[in-house]
Structure 1
């Protein structure tokens, strides 16, 4: 991948580049001329398609895939097919683009343990595999990483089809004694910068830019999380975050910012932040914020499931029997969630009530911003804490978006084409000719019920079918 005007821009890669020659061949096929097909040509037949861009579905479609790329989409029986192509009948099933996360983390959690010891290739690759099994084919890790491992893994995932593709932030920039809390994330200085001055902030950006980071991440939050009795953590000084944003933009890097409160969201967007990486959860958004977001063409990622995960398993322990949840759980996490003492402690903590309020406010604000035409992406903060489960969290987020007032297809559009647009990735997020063959085959129709995303028949990434299905039948 390469960066263009602050956005990620795909570079042609072997296995999924849509070459001029391929385009010529597609034109010839459509003209009715038959050519011999390479062994990796597949026609998916009689499938209903949600293409990721429109808010309607297209019944009875054929989708032609070759060399990891979608070559043609048309009414069943109208697509010219080369000899030797494999035919797969998907009658009764629905095809959607692979889900794309604009806000996740990798290498922070293993089981119930959080810390720098988890930043290893096997742990990260296992998480990427789990994302893919849940239909999340592209993941953006927003900080708490380090080079050279993170950069090596990104390049590796760009080139292969095993597990989700990977983009993200080298390290990220927090505050001395503040966010993200050292006692919670337990990562070393090499996984996060904590500048005390504007110059140190600029140096942190320079370091990340030299490492090839895709974005710059800032944490601006006192970490009270709506709990009035909580002691606030120090918040980054404006002159530091302003220096970071200016340096990032000078290097054609966009800045994503962790916030909780509206007052910080307003100040950061006014100062040039490109992505608000969490929803506003303390009060309703107002006209001033909407105007700021639209005038700056800023993006908003609500991550509603972040706060829901705080209480979900303690309040609904029966979820442990959910076959969709089970593939995401380690034995250690099952023991923790099953523990009545843990459940009681979680339910009675002040954070429980505050998290319920945060979810409701986040949903209210998401709907207001959506109706106002603000750019909205998709993410969950999965992988940052043991209960924010890769893949499962993204399925919960879709439900919460629908509960907020979006239709299922509006929610899926955010999680596919809109999430790709936030990242500047024009090669994915839609089922259309020339796009990567990253998609999910569902047993049911998501337009009727968003829970259909749990009924995964197959996941394809780069034209390769992954192991599955998610839930054994």
Structure 2
């Protein structure tokens, strides 16, 4: 055997065992008994007062009043509220730094820092959609993140998305690693390659001007090939007319709100019949027009802690705010936001599965972590109850990722991903921002972004 190859294999094997020992030590712990808490279990029901939770290792072992467990470490929560840690089904990581976005920012250090930020804000699991880089799939990095073996939120990756050909996009652009087929004939080879990295979903960008939209023949072929590999397809969509055609083509998930017009009963019936989840990303359009004036959160430390360096100085400047006031795109986003609020209410009330996602991390102004809490507030603004909104941010999002067997609600046997709050979010949804502690797989990881 070649000596270099032998030593290389030996080093990789040693690295595997080191990771195994690290994981074993991480999850080897005494039982923890959380006492005197008010429980929101994520399933949409009423709060359970004066309840206890027993954690055994990574899992929830029991829930009930006056629990006892010999040898357990007892923590008296003194009436704090406990809900499942949140799950965001549409984010981006590693492509922003400071005031800029670029594919060159996609480093291991940047990805880990941003996943830590999500977890500090009570988001224990995220799904990226379409802008990841090959680095993520090297040396087991993505798999370690997905299984919670590294610090920060777990990461499910949609790999490399599909978009229209655009020669102006450089490889270094944050969207520079996407597939851009010129014809449907190119799709099978691209999908075969994408399938090789085991994406959680396939992302397609469909909308744009009539001259720049993805051709139906191409996205139909993408959907067909993805389904051949048992992969679901999520669409970046804006127009109702595109959404109708996508449903006819077999789309699996809508990754954004429909924002040009109100959905009608026939469309809603089609979504229900196909069981298509809807990820509204209301925060996207809110951020896009909020700085035409001074938003209520601008000086909130909970918001400022989520920003990349230099972003606060940019968005709080009079120059930026005047630019926003004069921006046709900001005016368009404000109108789109109003339609999005109405559509998510109609779809939710009709029984369509709505799940949390924000598109945070795609641009510096979409603050990772804070965006998810803002999304909850905006869903309540749309007319949904806090109980339903918390379910959207937990169990519903877990269902979109197909991980609801282990995550998304507080039930016996599930992984103990918990968000402990100093106030009840059913009374005021902004109370999700009053974070006392964050637990990931049965271990207290963080006191929130403002407590160190």
Q: TM-score, normalised by structure 2?
A: 0.90
Checking the alignment, whether the CA contact within 8 Å between 1:346 and 1:352 is kept in structure 2 is yes
Query: What is aligned with 1:363?
Result: 341
Q: Is the 8 A contact 1:147 1:211 kept in 2?
A: no
The 8 Å contact of residues 15 and 68 in structure 1, kept in 2 or not, is answered as: no
Deviations 1:73-108 (A, max 9, x none): 112x1x341x22100011221001011001111111
Would you say 1:154 and 2:132 are equivalent positions?
no
Secondary structure of 2:374 counterpart: helix
Aligned to 2:306: 328
Match of 1:167 in 2: 156
Mapped pair 1:257 → 2:245: no
- Which residue number corresponds to residue 438 of structure 2? 459
Residue 129 of structure 2 is aligned to residue 142 of structure 1:
yes
Aligned length: 427
For the 8 Å contact 1:201–1:241, the answer to whether it is kept is no
Match for residue 197 of structure 1 among 156, 169, 183: 183
User: Map of 1:171-320 to 2, 5 A cutoff?
Assistant: 171-177=160-166, 182=169, 186-187=173-174, 189=176, 191-222=177-208, 234-316=212-294, 319-320=297-298
8 Å contact from structure 1 (residues 52, 416) kept in 2:
yes
2:316 to 324, 327, 338: 338
Structure 2 unmatched ranges of 5 or more: 1-21
Pair 46,402 (structure 1): closer, same or farther in 2 beyond 3 Å: same
2:55 — aligned with what? 65
Give the C-alpha shift of residue 115 in structure 1.
0.8
Tell me how far 1:364 sits from its aligned partner. Answer: 0.1
8 Å Cα contact 1:114-1:184 kept in structure 2? no
* C-alpha separation in 1, matches of 2:102 and 2:201: 22
Is it true that 1:443 corresponds to 2:422 in the alignment? yes
> What's the offset of the Cα at 1:415?
0.5
Larger displacement relative to structure 2 (159-168 or 458-467): 159-168
Which whole-Å deviations, capped at 9, do the CAs of 1:377-411 have from their partners, x for residues lacking one? 11000011111111100011000000000011110
1:244 is displaced (CA, Å) by: 0.7
Asked if the contact 2:108–2:135 (Cα under 8 Å) also holds between the matched residues in 1, the reply is: no
| Distance in 2 separating the partners of 1:324 and 1:396 | 11
Any stretches of 5+ residues in structure 1 without a counterpart? 1-12, 19-37, 225-231
Q: Is the 8 A contact 2:30 2:71 kept in 1?
A: no
The change in CA–CA distance for 1:288 and 1:14 in structure 2 (over 3 A counts) is farther
Whether contact under 8 Å (1:142, 1:168) holds in the other structure is yes
CA gap 1:213/1:433 in 2 versus in 1, 3 angstroms: same
Contact 1:161–1:461 under 8 Å retained in 2: no
Any idea what SS the aligned residue of 2:180 has?
coil
**Structure 1 length-normalised TM:** 0.86
Name the CA shift for 1:461/1:161 in 2 (closer, same or farther; >3 Å): farther
Q: Distance in 2 between matches of 1:408 and 1:433?
A: 23
Q: Is the 8 A contact 2:34 2:76 kept in 1?
A: yes
Asked if 2 retains the 8 angstrom alpha-carbon contact of 1:130 and 1:390, the reply is yes
Residues 98, 137 of structure 1: 8 Å contact kept: yes
Q: Deviations over 1:287-342 (max 9, x none)?
A: 22111111111111111110101122452266342111121123311221132111
Residue of structure 1 in register with 2:33 after alignment: 43
